[in-house]
Structure formats: C-alpha cells, structure tokens
Structure 1
Amino acid sequence: MSERPGADRPDRPALPGTLWALVVVIGCARVALATGPEPAPLLCAGAGVLALAGLACLALSRTGARAAAPLALTLGVAASCACVVCAGELARQGALAGALSTSPVSSWELTLEADMSEGASGWRGRARVSGEGGSLGRVWLLADEPVELGTTLRCVGRFEENEPGDWGASSRAQGLAGTVRVVRVLESAPATGAWGAVLLVRSRVLESLDAGSSDARALLAGAICGSTVAMAERGLDEIFATCGISHLVAVSGGHLVLVGAFVGAALSRTRLGPLPRSAVLLASTLGFVVFCGAPSSASRAWAMSLVAELSQLVGRRAHPLSSASAAALAMALADPGVTGQLGYLLSVSCVCGICALGGYARYLLRVLVGTWRVRGRVGRALWRAGEGAQEALALTLVSQAVTAPLTCAAFSRLSLVAPVANVVLAPLFSALLALGLAAGLLVWAPAAQAVALAGADVVGAVVMELARLLAGVPMASVAVSVEEGPALAVLAACLAALLVAWPRVTRRALAGCLAVALAVCVGWWARWRLFAPACVRVLDVGQGDAILVTDGAAAVLVDTGPGDEVLDALARCNVTHLDAVVITHLHDDHTGGLEAVLSTVGADLVVVGAGVAAGTDAAELSLGDVLRVGRFSLACVWPEGPTDGTENADSLELLLTYDDGRRSLTALLTGDAELEETSAALAAGRVGDVDLLKVGHHGSASSVSDELARALDAEVAVASAGEGNSYGHPDPACVDALEGAGSRFLCTKDVGDVCVEPGEEGPVVSCQRGKGQ
C-alpha cells in the first residue's frame, strides 16, 4: 500500500458570483422576514444598500482592487433585491392577515398546497388563500382530520395572526401570514385541470402501495410519492433521523436522476431531436415534482436540471455550482418565503457544499486510506467497491458538515452513524427507489406491478433491518444544543479558512488531527457520562415538565416535556445516556418528548405509575417504592393505588432525598398533582419540610394553598411553564402563597433551566438566565 502523492489535491474551487448573491439573498430574507419590519423602511434600506454598493464599486474601480468592484456591485444588487421582494412579501402577509381578521374565514377559499402532518394540535399543512381577486397569500391550515393535497375548502374557522415569539417568526419567514383553524367544512372540491390529473394518479399509486401495511411500503410512499404520513405512524422517521438518512426519502436530485433515466431510456428509441427530447425530459421530471407535492428540495433540483439542459442546448458546458446557485437564487427571489423552509436550506447547502468541497473531501480520504495494488478480477471488483465507498463517504461527510448548524439547531441531535449509514444504505435505497418508480408506472398493470412491489418489499425489509441495527448502536445520535446564527458564523469562518489555505496534507498529519479530535471527544464524554455533578435540574422545555436528576454516572429524567425541546435541554446538560425515564402521568405535556429521548439519548428503563404500564414494557412504581439515582433516593409518595394515568390526580409524586454526610437536599417532585393530592401525602406523613418544591401543575391556582406552602416550607419553589402560555401559568395566587411562606419562587419561562444542588447550609440554586445564588 502506498500513499497517494500530494498532486492529487484538487484545484481550489472557483466560487461564482451567483453563489455570493445567493448567500446574501438568503441571509437578508431570513433576517427581514423573521423580524417583520414595516415594508416602507425595508424598501428604503434596499435603496440605500444599492446606492452604497454603487459608490463602493466606483471607489474600487479607481484603486488597485478594481477586480473586486463587480463582486461588490453584485452583492449590493442582491441585498437590494432581497429587501424589495421581502417588503412585498411582508406587505402581502399584512394584507392577508387584515382580510382574514376583518371578514369571515368562510368567505375565502383555502387550497392545500402540501401534505398535512399530524401534531399535538391536529393536522397541519400549508394552504393558499384565494378570493375573487385571486390568490392573497398562504397560511397554516389546522384541522382535526387530514385534508387531501390539492383540495379547495370553504369552511367556518378561526384565524390567528402570527404572534411574537419563535413560532410566529418561523411562520412569517416561511411566507405564512398566520393559522386558520377549521371548525366546520362547508364545501370541499378536489384539484382540477393538469394538477388535478397528476394528483389523481398520485392517489391511485398511494392506494396501490398500501403504505400502512409494512415498513417497506411506507418507505415507498415517502420516496416516490412524497407522502411520509405512514412513515411517521410507524416510527420510521425517528429511525431515519437517528441514522442521519432522512434525506434519502426526501424527494430531490437523486429521484429526478432516476426518473430522467427511465424517460431517457424510452426516448432513446425515438427519433426526437435535442430540443424536443429536452422538453419531454423536463416536462416528465416536472410532472414527477408536482406528483410528489412539489417539495422545495425537488423544485430546486428541477430548476438545476432546467439550467443544465438550457446550457447544453446553447452549447455551453454547465458548471454545477453555478447552476445550483442560479436555480436557488431564482427560487429565493421569486418566493422569499422559501428561504425559511428547512428543506430548501438543507438542499441548497448540500448541493453547493458537495460541488465546492466534494473533491477535497475525496482527496483527504485517499490520503488517509492510501492505495492498494490490485490484481485479478476479484481485486479489481474490490477496488471499485472501495472507490465507491470512499466517494459516498466523502459526500456524506461534506453534506453533514455544511448542514450541521441547520439540522442541530432544528432537531437538537447529531447522528454519529450517518457516514456509515449512508455508505451502507444509499445503494440499497437507490434500488428500492428504482423498483418503486417501476411499480408506480405499472399502477394500471396490477400483475406487473406486483412483481416490482415484491422486489421492493425485499429490498425495503433489508433497508429497515439495517437501519434499525444502526439506530440501535450506542450513541448512534447525540443530543446537541446550538444556536443557528452563531453556528453558521463558525461554519462560515471554518470554510473561509479552508478555502484560503487549501492545504496539502500527509497521512501522518491527518491521522494526528483525527486522534486529537477523538481524544477530546472521549475526554468530554467521560467527564459528563461518569462524573456528572449531583443536582436536580428543572428544565426549560416550554409548557410542560422535564426534571433531570444526575449524580456521577447515574441520570434519570422525570417527564419529557411536550416535544423535542427536551433534546435541546438534555444537550445543554451534556447528557448522553439515561438510566431511566419516569413518566408521572400520560398527558402530552409530560410525555411528548419520550420517543425523541429514547431514540436519541436512550434509556435503560421507562417507569410509570402502578396500573399504567398495561400492554407496554414499562416498569411500574407503587406507593413506597424507591428509585436510586447515584446517592439520590426518589420515593413514591402518591398515588395511593393503581390508576390509569390519564388525570392530573394520577400523577406520581416523588420525594427526593440526598445526604452524603456533608451536603443534603430534599425535594418534592409533584408532576401535575395539585393541592388535594399533595395535602393527602402530607397528612399521611409521607412528606414534610422540603428544600425544593417542583410546583404542581405548572403553578396553577389549585396547585398550592397558603397552609400547604407553610407546611412544606420550601427554600425554593420552581414552576415549569412556557412563555406566553394561554393558561396564565404560573397563577398569581400560587406565586403569592409560596412567596408568603418564605419560598423563593422561580419559573422556567423567566429564568430558563433551574439547577438545585445539595449544599452544606441549604440548597445551592443557579439559573440558566441569571438570578443565580
């Protein structure tokens, strides 16, 4: 084996002006739409930026840096255009919000433009609002039952404008003026015309796939029809997210390549000239994009193919990075709301990153692995397989690196098995996709379709078995906590340094860098996995409960909050494993993040109250039972008998104690139990004076009384509630009762995570956002 020479290093990529313009437009659009200024000042800002760019260009042209003048002008024009289109978008959103707020929802038509997904509030999807004057804009459509893609509704409903906060900013950034909640459907009509015909075929194909019958069929529905409902119902989305292979299902360039191959094979038997051939190919792939619901990743891929085909027709060689940047730039200027959609951002980042850095990543792998002298047919076959694996690994590493700030900020997790998973599963998934496309084309030939589906079932079963195997690897994915803006800034700085240096490397230097990075990661893991501080943390997870108890190598989570926010909270605490997850009762705001916790962080055991575990693998905790978490003891003091876990009164109440001879702590974790339940535990002598009270039911008016507050005499009382919640939690009466009894009252919506550690003279309290002691 010998190391490849340094001459194998690729040339530094030339970054086209369209790429810089794209970065500027996306950045300006995201800031403008998220903050939502008035359109007039935004237009003035656009004019000012354009004027400054012109002056900068003029100044540069008169100096030795005149080569930078065109780029300065390009960036200024891009920023100015972004301001103009965002001002128009915000004006449209304002006009639509005003129209829906001042007139009945039933006076407007709502057309669903994307498949709905099920959430805690019901089924949600994007819908276009139209009236006599045409389309006014888009809103979220929220309904109790799913609505078919392309359906136009007239309904009685309630409109809610985007409110201040992260959700409102995210919706506005996606081009959505608010949310329409469907109360009663008055009229419903399917899509008509060409779109209706395509969606009718889609419906027929989905029906023939029977997506709910198996994992393989659910995968097919997601991959060839863009419908991921069955995948979510069967929990496949969590498995794919853990393995870092969700992009394999998302309809994008790889799908269009296969569709193009099918169409190209058919066209090869015709005598069509280049122009008609390109027209048919583009029309076919466009039809497939519409067939899948026109996701932004597929739309971007089709726009790229359009640019490439036009370049070929006019006799120019297509430059992939320029084509990708131009296509993405056109989409962003035509609809600035697309810049707020994660699918678009991930797709653009992946393609541009691969075009610019894919060659260098391959170079690094070749230096690290070296080359082998091969002989014979078997040796050549192994060499080709190795080259293919290196190619797949290089592209995966680049894609994961350039999208990490976006995915980690959005999902609070980082897949560590993604490189291996992509190398192993991508070829199988291509075979599955090819069989699925064949099955879709044969939908009106059931006998032939059955053959294609049988093959897809076999390949799909293998894909899922391997995916589950990889997802089950310890630390297959880890919880991470990052802010998107700073993370993107760090990525940009690293990429800039790489592009400037563009270094040649040796195997020894590369291996040394990897060894140092690995040592740092192992050291960090050992510090927090084996030597975590003894503390109780009431985590800020919004309108829900999640309490983390750690001591050394032991960690237990009590409740998981309303959703995936708990992953971000666990990442803030550097948690990579849980010994157990305790669910106090079965309300969504206490169990919503359970699936994400189990698939990302993992837990040896799930514990519920007595009578709640029927039909599950969970362990049950009864009155008097004790859980050990390092030197902490958690004793069950309520309820007094079996329950079904569906009511607040069914909540487990846990008395936590800690005493190492020098420091001590007592705490009462109440779940959603209220005054009656806690008073009963107190009267029975199972609870007394405590240092920490986790206030019941998020600090509702019925959670505590003056008498109970005095009896518990907690030094610190913490309520877990979400900012701007509609319940008014914590209630002023609760706060007054606790503070009147001498307790220091804190709420997660005000101070973030609250950490309470054992102390020699009482609990030691610190908060995520100040107010520490």
Structure 2
Amino acid sequence: MRLGGDVQERSVVASGAGAEDAKPIRPLLPDFWCAAVALLATCLPLTQVGWLAQIDVIPKGLPIVLMVVIAVLGFALCIAGRHASMRARRLLYRTSVGILVAVLCCFVSSARFIAASFRVANVTVSSCRLDPVEDPKIGASSISTICNVRRVDGAVLGKVLVQTDDVLDPGRLYQVAGSLEPLDDSSWHRYLYMKGCVAIVTTHAVISSSPKPANPVRMVRTWLLDAISPSSSPSRALIAGVICGRTTELSQTQAQTAFSLTGLTHLVAVSGSHLAYIAMLIESLLLALGCPVRTRSVVVACIMGAYVVFTGCAASAMRSFLMVGCSSLTLAVRRRPHALSGLALSCMLLCAFNPKSAWDLGFQLSVASVLFLNLFCTYVAWTIERAGAPRMVSQQLSMTLTAQWATLPLTVPVFGSISIVSLAANLVVGPLMTALLAAGLVLVPISALAPLRAVAMIPLDGLANASIFFADALSKIPFATIMADGAAPYLPLLYLVALAVYALWPVIPRLGTVIAFMLAGVAFTCHVIFWSYFVPPSITVMDVGQGDSIIIREGSSSLLVDAGVDEAALEALVRNNVVALDGVVITHWDKDHWGGLPAILQRIPVRRLFVAKGAVDAMPKDIDASSFEDIVELGLGDSIAIGSFTCDVVWPQEDVSGEENGDSTCLVVTYDHGGRSLRCLLTGDTELDQERAYQRDVGNIDVLKLGHHGSGLSVDGDLLKAIDPEVSIASAGRGNSYGHPSQECVDCVRGYGSQFYCTIDYGDVCIEPLQGAVKIRCSRNL
C-alpha cells in the first residue's frame, strides 16, 4: 500500500472511549515471519549437527543426510500448499522458502568451513600473516583476538582465535611464531566454531608486523578512537564503547562491573533495540521540524550508516543497521512502514549470509528484544499507565520490562543471574546512555578536530560520568543481583505467556497490576530475609575466569577462600547474594587468587583477612590492610569456624612467604550437623609434591577442588585412591593460554570414577551436604 505525501498512521481508539483509556491496537505479525522463523529453526539444528560432526561425536556424513531430509520436507510443504486454501498456501510457501534457503546456506557454509580448516591445518603459523578483524578481549591469562590467516600474497585461508601476551593492533598484520591447536569438544570451542574460527593459535613470539593497506573505514574509526582516547579515563572508555563499539579498555575498569551488576551492559553493546530507539528519536525530531518522509528516511539511514563506520563495520553494528534500515527503507520507497517486516527481512539476510549467527547470543538478544518491543511495548506502557503511573515513567518502564521479558530466557542460562535493580537502573541510566549515544554521533566527529576537541568532549564526559556514577551507586544496593538456575524450567513459560498475551490481548484490571507489583515486592523482601539469615550450608566454587574463588556459608555466616584475579569475583559474590563476609582466606599471593580483593573491599564489608604464617609481609600494596578488623596468620592445625563448618589447615607445615604455588594454604572443610555431612579439600595452587605430603592428614573426602586449576601435575591415581573424592572441581578461565584444566587431569579424574566439573562449562558449582550424599547445583548446564 502506497502512502501519499506525508500521511502518518492515525491513532485508533475504541469507540466511545477517551484516548487515554483506549486499548492499543494489536500489532500485525506479517506472514513473512513464517519464512524467517522457518529459516532460523532450520539453521539452529543444522549448524549444531555440523559442530557435532566437526568434533567427531557423530559421523561426518550425517549433516549432509539431515540437510537432504529437511530439504525434502521443504519441497513437501511447497507441494502441500498447492491443495490448501489461499491463506494456508501463502504460509506454507513462505515456510518452505525459509527451509530451502536455510539448507542451501548451511551447505555452503559447511563447505567453506571444511575448506578453511583444511587450508589452515596444512600451513605453518610462521609462514602466514595474522590479520586482526575484531577488537581484542583482555583476559586474566592472555589477550584473545579473532584474526584472518593470510598467505603472503594476501589470500585469506581461514579465521582463527589468536592468544597473545600483548594487544594486537587491528591496523597491522603480524607474523608470529606459535602453535596451532584444533577445536575440541568444550563449550568455549563450540562458541569459536559458531564465530567461524577453525583453530586456535597460541603465540610464542611476534616475529614482525607491518601496516595494513589503507582502509577508509578503519582510518575513520582510528581517527575517532584517537580523539576519544579510551585508555585515559573510565568515562572515555565508556564513550569508546558506546560510540565505536570498542570495549577493550572499558572491560578493565570497575565501571564495567557496575554496568554488569545492574543489568546495563546492553546499553554499552551495539544492540538493535538501542539503535532502533535512537532512530525513533531522530525521526521524531525531524518530524517536528516538518521534514518530509523521504528526507527523514535518508537522514536516519545516513546517521545509522555513520555509526556502522564508527564501529569499524563490526558484525553487531551491521546487524543492528540492517534491523533498523529495513524498516526505514519502506518509508523511503513510500511504502507503509512496518518494523516487524523489516526485522524479519534482516534476520533472513543475516542468517542466509552466515547460518551460524543464529547461535550468536547478541543476534538472539537483538531479535528477541526488537520483536517484543514492537509487539508489546505500547501494550505494557498502557497497562502500567492505567494503574496510575505517569506517562513518562510508564513508557520507560515498559521498554525495560518488555526487553527483560524477551531476553531473560536467553541470558539466564548463560549468565546464571538476574539483576533486580535493572528496572531502576534503566529508568535512571537509560536516558543518559541514549543521550550519550545521540550526542556522541555528532560530537565525537567534531572532537576529532583538534581545536574543537576540548569543548566537544565536555558534554560527553559529563553524560558518561553521570552514567557511571548512577550505575555504580545502584550496583552497591544489597541483593542487586540474584542467582538463577540456568536450567530453570519456568524460563520458556515467559515465551508461552507472550503467545497467550498476543493471542488474547487482554485488558488487565488496574487492581491486578497493582497487586502484581505488590507481590513482586513481597517476594523480593522474602528473598532478602532468606539470603541474610537462612542460607543453607553450601560450598560454591564460583566462576571467576582464570582464578580461584570459593564461598563457604551457612545462615548469616560466610567465608571467602581466594578472590580471583579481577572484578569477576565481586560479580560472583553479588550474584550469589553475598552482602557481607566474616573473613577472606588468601591462599597465596598469586594475582589470580587475590586480584579481586580490592574491588570486593570497596563494596562488601570484610571482618578478617586470613593468610599463611609468614605471608603478611608480602601482602600486595593494592590491598588496604585498614579495611579489616584483624589480619590472622594460619598455621598447621589451626581452624576457622563458619556456621557449622570447620576449616582445618593441613598445609603449609612451616612459615612461608606466600609467593609460590607451593606456599598455598590448604583447607579441609568439614560439615557434620543434623544428620548431614560433607568433607571438601581446597588445595589452592598446590600440586602433587605438596599434596602427597599432606594427604594423610586429609583422609577420605567427598569433594576435591583440584589444585592449580587442574594442571597436569595436580592429581594422579595414587592421590585419588588416598582421598577418594566423589566429585572433583577445577576452576579455570575460558580460552586460557595454559590449557587448564589439562586433558591429562580430566582423564585421570574420570578414569578413577570421580564426577568432574569445571567452571568453564558449568559456571558456579555449588555443593550442599545431604544425609549420606551431596547435592550439586550449577549455574550453567551442558
């Protein structure tokens, strides 16, 4: 349907009702979505089967057989449509098109991946050039960068993940000495497979580097990043993340922790929903100025295109641009605007180009949030407003609630937590971040001109600092984040509720809305009381990356053993509902065991610090000794009582400096109360030489926290026979350069018959004592 001139869609209200009481019209979900859903539903299993074939879990030829079967199903639907009604025929035809396109694209993608794997596997690393294609990710033990592997003549052989000690400049080509490792069956390597990586390169040395050929997009982005200077302050790091999509520097600041704890990371990431909101603001402004339809569409497209350039044409930015651009295009060609049709089209284009993107969490979150915002945002705002909330509050609150509704079933299985303060955080920080993005798109290019830099950056610094301030303040609220079972069966119900609401489009009584919010408040109060005074006895090996951090707690008592390498330990404590610590044991002074303590001390009160005898003198200067009521040195035979837990020191057996792995304080944690029992050995970074020395003092245990992150020397058959653990747990970081946990360790533990868990795959691993058994809960499940 074509529109004449600047005709706008008219508001439709119920007959005889005022505009303020009229129920919003249910948005039309176009038939085109049948093709998009069919394509997505086909790409997901086919790419997963391709991964299983890649790691030899299933025969190599099975994906081809499955593709043929699904293609036959697509043709069968097409034939069945010839004998159906016009409406059913249209739906069946669109569904069959989506299926057949997906099969074809998955076949091409698989063939390209196999060819790239073969090419990369048959070259030496030092004979090629590594071309960084994404910003580096700084981890605890290494820096990871996705790179194209190029021959000397410039031909691309394939994509790999490169692990280095130094940051790789995206504007240079590198020749390195390193080792090439194929993908294994871990969840981390599955993630890399879905990103298109065929192998992992661990570098030993950089031989040489040279600048890449001139690229206008990269030059513009480098020019803007130089003007922003993201390493100069947290506010500049935030500006770089919002405007240029570079979060390398932001991830090293406490601002990132605050955004994570308050559920605001989506405001930093390049998201379709955020970009759509900016496009809406720009279009509203142009409409108020009287600009015609085509002019508005062209201006919005240019601004969105500039943003894509600012991010270096990052995949997430291109995805967001497509989602917004497809909707704006309908206006430019004078067609009736329909955002849902544009979203469906962009989904099909993205998955057709790269079927594995269907598994990308960023893609899933963007699609889900934009879909729900278009379907339910107006309805939710109307419902809240009918309950008495002001229009401005109801609109902002509806966007947050709708986005949470769409994304919780996707994020909880990955992160294992829900931010309770995210609603308030989005209401307060959301407008600031939106203003930062809108202003930054204009002011950052101006700031790239040296004479105007100081003036242009003033408002951006103000908005960024205000965003960080409020996010930091909200993150300090007790119980800001709660732990959620990643396998919770109720999560899919949120989507079933969405289907029911869309089908029925009910009018929810004002009283019902008020009661719902009151019940939520009561539930939160009960949650706070429970986690403050009635915590069941448990030992949780928390997922803090390449480091150790274990929380022992019962009732209102809690003891932390080690604090990880960075702010991840604080995030882990918050999501496990820990708001105060009776004490912290630092096993030794390696940074992956104490590095997160300064951040913890800024937000969580800690009464005592426990270290090995003789280790106080080597305490790092970053740890403020005045933060503790007391610093206690532990020796052989000493004990710490936490609730009904007893933590007995079995190592070291003499005074130590605390600077070596072998100096680690090792604890046997025992629980024996009310018929329930548990014995757990916490080994720090000790390995076989030390473990054999203290194994007699340990006796039989239920749970072994493997020494030194599950290194090859952390355990052997003789040690396992001596202590007889039913469960063995390794704490290690995804993609660490040490190869922890080693395959030798994993095979030894499983060969003995002990259940093996690693935080890389299972997230937080919680052990609870039962009568004659132990209960294991994980924040993620394979």
1:161 maps to 182
- Once the two structures are TM-superposed, the CA of residue 207 in structure 1 deviates from its matched residue by 2.3
User: Quick one: structure 1 residues 727 and 594, their matched pair in 2 at CA, closer, same or farther if it must change by over 3 Å?
Assistant: farther
**TM-score, structure 2 as length reference:** 0.80
CA distance in structure 2 between the partners assigned to 1:563 and 1:82 by the alignment: 42
| Alignment partner of 2:147 out of 109, 127, 147 | 127
Establish whether residue 31 from structure 1 lines up as the match of residue 45 from structure 2. Answer: yes
The answer as to 2:73 corresponding to 1:73 is no
Alignment match, 2:555: 552
Q: Deviations for 1:458-498, whole angstroms, at most 9, x for unmatched residues?
A: 332222211111111111122323149x6774333222122
Q: Identify the range of structure 1 (140-149 vs 396-405) with the bigger mean alpha-carbon deviation.
A: 140-149
Q: How do residues 330-729 of structure 1 correspond to structure 2 at under 5 angstroms? A: 330-369=349-388, 386-443=390-447, 445-483=449-487, 489-520=492-523, 522-523=525-526, 526-527=529-530, 529-536=532-539, 547-559=550-562, 577=579, 579=581, 580-587=583-590, 604=606, 607=609, 609=611, 610-611=615-616, 613-615=619-621, 616-617=623-624, 620-624=631-635, 626-639=639-652, 643=656, 645-658=658-671, 668-674=681-687, 677=690, 687=697, 694=704, 697=707, 716=725, 718-721=727-730, 727-729=742-744
Over the matched positions of the two proteins, sequence identity in percent amounts to 28
**Residue aligning to 1:86:** 106
Would you say the 8 A contact 2:46–2:67 is kept in 1?
no
Tell me the amino acid that sits aligned with residue 769 of structure 2: E
Deviation at 1:292? Answer: 1.0
Distance in 2 (CA, whole Å) between partners of 1:509 and 1:279 is: 44
Please report how far the alpha carbon of residue 399 of structure 1 lies from its aligned counterpart in structure 2 after TM superposition.
Answer: 0.9
Q: Hey, what's the Cα distance between the residues in 2 that align with 1:689 and 1:505?
A: 61
Alpha-carbon distance in 2 for matches of 1:39, 1:22: 28
| 1:246 alignment partner, one of 259, 262, 265 | 265
Cα deviation digits, residues 57-85 of structure 1 (max 9, x gap): 5546645x652332233222212221221
Distance 1:487 1:82 in 2: 30
Cα drift, residue 398 of structure 1: 0.7
- Contact 1:39/1:91 (8 A) holds in 2: no
Amino acid paired to 1:495? A
Which of the residues 147, 150, 154 maps onto 2:168? 147
Q: Distance in 1 between matches of 2:336 and 2:750?
A: 70
Contact 1:719 1:730 in 2 (8 A): no
Instruction: Verify: 1:190 aligned to 2:211, yes or no.
Output: yes
Most deviating of 403-412 and 666-675? 666-675
Please give the per-residue CA displacement for 1:484-534, whole angstroms capped at 9, x wherever unaligned: 9x6774333222122222211101122233444544555456455533333
State how far apart, in whole Å, the 1-side matches of 2:703 and 2:328 are: 67
Deviation string 1:160-216 (CA, Å, 9 cap, x unpaired) is 2221231222112222222233444455343434xx233223223322323222222
Once residues 767 and 352 of structure 1 are traced to their aligned partners in structure 2, the CA distance between those partners, rounded to angstroms, is 37
Worse overlay, 672-681 or 545-554: 672-681
Q: 1:283 to 1:595 in 2, by over 3 A?
A: farther
Q: Which of 111, 117, 138 is equivalent to 1:118?
A: 138
Find the partner of 2:311 among 265, 283, 292: 292
1:320 to 339, 343, 351: 339
**Aligned-partner Cα distance in 2 for 1:46–1:717:** 42
Structure 2: which 5+ runs fail to align? Answer: 1-16, 54-58, 733-738
Secondary structure in 2 matching 1:720: strand
Amino acid aligned to 1:116: P
Change (3 A) 1:189 1:286: farther
**Which region of structure 1 is more displaced relative to structure 2, 516-525 or 108-117?**
516-525
What residue number does 1:100 align with? 120
Specify the code of the residue in structure 2 equivalent to 1:512: I
Give the one of 284, 307, 313 matched to 2:326. 307
Contact 1:18 1:325 in 2 (8 A): yes
1:585/1:112 Cα in 2 relative to 1: closer, same or farther (>3 Å)? same
Partner of residue 235 from structure 1, selected from 245, 254, 266 = 254
- Stretch moving more, 52-61 or 326-335: 52-61
TM-score (norm 1): 0.81
Q: Is the CA contact (8 Å cut-off) linking 2:695 and 2:723 kept in structure 1?
A: no
Q: Tell me the secondary structure at the aligned position of residue 748 of structure 1.
A: strand
Cα distance change of structure 1 residues 325 and 6 upon mapping to structure 2, 3 Å threshold: same
What letter corresponds to residue 327 of structure 1 in structure 2? S
Q: 1:82 to 1:334 in 2, by over 3 A?
A: same
- Compute the displacement of 1:330 (Å): 1.0
* Residue 542 of structure 1, CA deviation: 9.4
SS in 2 for 1:229: coil
Distance 1:592 1:192, change over 3 A: same
**Cα pair distance change 1:314/1:767, threshold 3 Å:** closer
> Alpha-carbon deviation of 1:665?
6.1
SS at match of 1:478: strand
Following superposition of structure 1 onto structure 2, how do residues 30-49 of structure 1 map, counting pairs within 5 Å? 30-36=44-50, 37=53, 42=63, 45-49=66-70
Are the counterparts in 2 of residues 755 and 765 from structure 1 also a CA contact under 8 Å? Answer: yes
Q: Is the 8 A contact 1:58 1:69 kept in 2?
A: no
Change (3 A) 1:675 1:229: closer
Residue 16 of structure 1 aligns with an amino acid whose one-letter code is P
Kept in 1, the 8 Å contact 2:447–2:456? The answer is no
Change (3 A) 1:335 1:418: same
Amino acid at match of 1:364: T
Q: For 2:707, give the aligned amino acid.
A: H
* Contact 1:540-1:748 within 8 A present in 2 as well: no
Shift of 1:416: 1.2
Cα distance in 2 for partners of 1:369, 1:527 equals 32
Q: CA RMSD in A?
A: 4.5
Matched, 1:21 2:38: no
Matched-pair contact (CA < 8 Å) for 1:585–1:608: no
SS at match of 2:730: coil
Shift of 1:355: 0.7
Offset, 1:764: 3.8
CA displacement 1:411-450 (0-9 Å, x = unmatched): 2222111111111112222333344344422245433221
What SS does structure 1 have at the residue aligned with 2:588?
coil
Q: CA deviation at 1:362?
A: 0.8
Change (3 A) 1:563 1:88: farther
Is the contact made by 1:668 and 1:694 (CA closer than 8 Å) also made in structure 2? yes
User: Which residue does 1:379 correspond to in 2?
Assistant: none
1:94 Cα offset (Å): 1.3
Residue 382 (structure 1) aligns with: none
Note if contact 2:683-2:706 (Cα within 8 Å) is conserved in structure 1.
yes
Q: Which amino acid letter does the alignment assign opposite residue 146 of structure 2?
A: R
Separation in structure 1 between the aligned mates of residue 597 and residue 38 of structure 2, nearest angstrom: 39
Between the aligned partners of 2:718 and 2:294, the Cα distance in structure 1 is 85
Q: In 2, distance between residues paired with 1:45 and 1:606? A: 60
CA distance in 1, matches of 2:602, 2:103: 42
- Gapped regions of structure 1 (runs ≥ 5): 371-385
Residue aligned with 1:622, SS: strand
Q: 1:52 to 1:319 in 2, by over 3 A?
A: same
What secondary structure does 1:8 align onto? Answer: coil
What is the distance in 2 between the residues matched to 1:465 and 1:330? 40
Alignment of 1:734-749 (within 5 A): 747-748=756-757
SS in 2 for 1:157: strand
Which amino acid in structure 2 is aligned with residue 669 of structure 1?
A: L
